[in-house]
Structure 1
């Protein structure tokens, strides 16, 4: 070595991209890439083929397997080996257009939210990562005043609460969040929280304290702070997610920082990420940051919470941001990865 100090190569981890494959200009499957754990810079490395419209992708608790919805009318969910990047198997959901999925805390069951049919489906997860046939289907009921978007139930999101005891299913068509207990692989409804008629709830995020949750309303561009206890949500404070006078906007994803001090929401139309601080009386909007793309359908943190990624559906790019953990402020990394119709980003826990 001739002078100077050897510099360690920047650490990189894997990231997967959910996308649409049947749309014009669509992807060929689930995108594979890497990101720099310091700067957030993204690179593409390949694609997992054989998966139709994988619009949302998650990983198993141990990182060995991936699971993706197949968002189409016949409705399927696909299991993938994360090491070989090969499809293990698929199962029918029994519903139409599954758009979200989650694993229960044990990792032994998977639940999908089927948008067009307004239903939830439960599947056992086998030791080899494969999915067993559907064991339960739950049908939502309800509608709303928006005749184009709320003619019937539309299950959009399913996630377990902080304690892992109850699962919350957000239904855009029914203007409701249905909460279920989950015991022995079976969903049993325990409550239904209704938001303002026509609000169109899309996604929910629970605060780490387990006492509060935040609902992103797609149709009226609001975020609702809800008190939460024993499987019951009580809607409270309602805030707009964009400045007054902004063009038509449709909120998509909502996130809470690990320390519980900050909430982030992606704005489609305003094409920004809204930043809220968490206080004793609710949320305070601190401002918005341009997302660097169009129609940010999904935002997510990396496993450390130091980076935030945005999948921008209508500009065919994924952008990254660094997160100041002291203030919660996000700053663009200044680079964007071009990829076809990205609607989900999954930075992996295990690399």
Structure 2
């Protein structure tokens, strides 16, 4: 599945034997699906609109089960946690949680909170590895927040303040270590996670190639490498996490790379401005990438998700 911004809605593609993607159809009724999440037999698409909505689909035939308002402005990310669909809203800096019905569709009611700060911009929400806590990354407040849902109410628990001007966009966990990607200053920050207390402790920071606006971070399954898409020079930075160094900056073969995903032996990159998804061969043994070997045209490509 390929989500888009100013594109053709939700785009469906088959994965061929060589890893290439072949577009089969588009669902224009799923508007501005800038991020996707599959959980519990339901595919969720956040609809990044000034008055946000979210669409729940059946992942087998991609019929729309329900589209409902998120009650926030410009939602950019979503996840499921504690029986709720949780949505991050960039424009108004809020996180909203909607209880899920038995069929996986979000209900009418919601619980919401707004991050502290003059201009909060919530950009990502995800559960911690233990499943006990909800983590939200806020670009505007230079902070990572820990929340809980208690008796149906979303509550703030703790906050990790990061260096001013970092603009944290997304993070990725491997065990009890979180790797936080700065967008406004190209930097990767590592923090140790304590699930018992629901708190982070900063560990180290690594500059990424200058002059870029990083967008997405994914980790290799063994936790040895991080991959960060860089909007600017249009590369993927490969970071050796053990030695804390950038070991590669590989061209993505497109313009303005956003989300990326590992699948099989390829890294797939959604390039918004060049309207493409490119694939870069990935060596799981060395963690290294090769230059792109293929491209699939998708207008406004923003996110790539594999359902199988």
TM bin (shorter chain): over 0.9
How far the C-alpha of 1:134 sits from its partner, in A, is 3.4
Match of 1:260 in 2: 223
How far the C-alpha of 1:97 sits from its partner, in A, is 0.2
Q: Deviations over 1:144-190 (max 9, x none)?
A: xxxxxxxx100000011122221210000101110113445443222
C-alpha distance in 2, partners of 1:92/1:228? 33
270, 283, 295: which one pairs with 1:336? 295
Structure 1: which 5+ residue stretches go unaligned?
Answer: 1-15, 21-25, 144-151
* Secondary structure in 1 matching 2:192: strand
* Secondary structure in 1 matching 2:141: coil
2:37 counterpart of 1:58: yes
C-alpha distance in 2, partners of 1:278/1:200? 21
C-alpha distance in 1, partners of 2:8/2:298? 10
What count of residue pairs does the alignment treat as equivalent? 306
How far the C-alpha of 1:39 sits from its partner, in A, is 2.8
249, 268, 276: which one pairs with 1:288? 249
**What does 1:94-133 align with in structure 2 at a 5 Å threshold?**
94-104=71-81, 108-133=83-108
* Secondary structure in 1 matching 2:273: helix
TM-score by length of 2: 0.94
C-alpha distance in 1, partners of 2:109/2:170? 24
C-alpha distance in 2, partners of 1:321/1:185? 43
Please provide the CA RMSD for this pair: 1.6
Match of 2:194 in 1: 229
Distance 1:291 1:189, change over 3 A: same
**What does 1:135-284 align with in structure 2 at a 5 Å threshold?**
135-143=110-118, 152-207=119-174, 209=175, 211-230=176-195, 231-242=198-209, 246=210, 248-279=211-242, 283-284=244-245
Decide whether the 8 Å contact of 1:109 with 1:125 is kept in 2: yes
How far the C-alpha of 1:112 sits from its partner, in A, is 0.4
C-alpha distance in 1, partners of 2:33/2:129? 26
C-alpha distance in 2, partners of 1:228/1:345? 28
C-alpha distance in 1, partners of 2:104/2:178? 31
How far the C-alpha of 1:84 sits from its partner, in A, is 2.7
How far the C-alpha of 1:123 sits from its partner, in A, is 1.3
C-alpha distance in 2, partners of 1:65/1:336? 28
C-alpha distance in 1, partners of 2:282/2:156? 37
C-alpha distance in 1, partners of 2:144/2:162? 8
Match of 1:27 in 2: 7
Decide whether the 8 Å contact of 2:252 with 2:292 is kept in 1: no
How far the C-alpha of 1:291 sits from its partner, in A, is 0.8
C-alpha distance in 1, partners of 2:86/2:11? 23
Q: Deviations over 1:102-156 (max 9, x none)?
A: 112x6x321000000100111122222322123211111214xxxxxxxx10000
Larger radius of gyration: 1
* Secondary structure in 1 matching 2:287: coil
